[in-house]
Structure 1
Amino acid sequence: MKYVQILLTVFMLTLSTVSLAIDLHSAKDQGLVGETPNGYLASPVSAPSADIKALISDINAKRKQKYAQVAAKVAKPLSVVEQLAGKKAIEKTSKGHFIQFPDGQWVKK
């Protein structure tokens, strides 16, 4: 019986952690993440939560993989693709969401 209680407790903790996870759109709406000139996400918040750090890390890893594929396809350095992607992402950023200038300053678009 005690084993079942432990399993249920772990299961409930797992569910509560999953329910606390935030998606990219919500994080942008709340000002917790923004687009940077190098094509990746970062947080304008001085101490982002673990969920936000995980979200940024996951999305940036996926972006880097995609950028590397594009770079190989067009025979350009990864840095060129990253810069172009950053420019495009900043251009497409919705009003009220954060963007970062090359000098590191964050502003709401």
Structure 2
Amino acid sequence: MKNKKLLSLLAPLFLGLCLVTMSVNAADLATAKSAGLVGEQMNGFLGLVKPDAPSDVQALVKSINAQRQAEYQRIAAKNGVPAEEVARLTAQKVIGQAASGQFVETPTGWTQR
């Protein structure tokens, strides 16, 4: 009984921490994109525009790409399509909505909008 009560009290805290973490990632990603360190790739994942980007930016890209991969797989399984297709369609949308000054991948390499 005590465990259930404790869990019910901790659940909102945990949710809040998750939301804060996602907000920090989003802010860090926006900063990395604005700095020209990170861009959207045609495969639906983030890429390092500058391979010598700081290690925290590299870790951020790795973390977000892992989250994206999991989400692509979830959506793919739900709809009976390959995860690569979900990723590719997402990439088209995200690249199309990229803000001015951000880098996006094209068939010929990185291009700044």
TM range (shorter): 0.7 to 0.9
- What is aligned with 2:20? none
Alpha-carbon distance in 2 for matches of 1:67, 1:92: 19
- What is aligned with 1:56? 61
Query: Cα RMSD over matched residues?
Result: 1.5
Q: Where do 5+ consecutive residues of structure 1 fail to align?
A: 1-20
Tell which deviates more after alignment, 63-72 or 94-103. 94-103
Report the TM-score when normalising by structure 1.
Answer: 0.76
The answer as to 2:88 corresponding to 1:79 is no
Rg (Cα) greater in structure: 1
The answer as to 2:64 corresponding to 1:29 is no
Q: Secondary structure at the match of 1:80?
A: helix
The answer as to 2:98 corresponding to 1:93 is yes
Which residue among 67, 74, 92 is the counterpart of 2:72? Answer: 67
Question: Percentage identity across aligned positions?
Answer: 36
Report the TM-score when normalising by structure 2.
Answer: 0.73
Alpha-carbon distance in 2 for matches of 1:89, 1:37: 9
Q: How far has the Cα of 1:48 moved from its partner?
A: 1.4
The answer as to 2:74 corresponding to 1:45 is no
Q: Secondary structure at the match of 2:111?
A: strand
Q: Secondary structure at the match of 2:94?
A: helix
Look up the equivalent residue of 1:72 and give its one-letter code: A
> By percentage of residues, which structure has more helix?
2
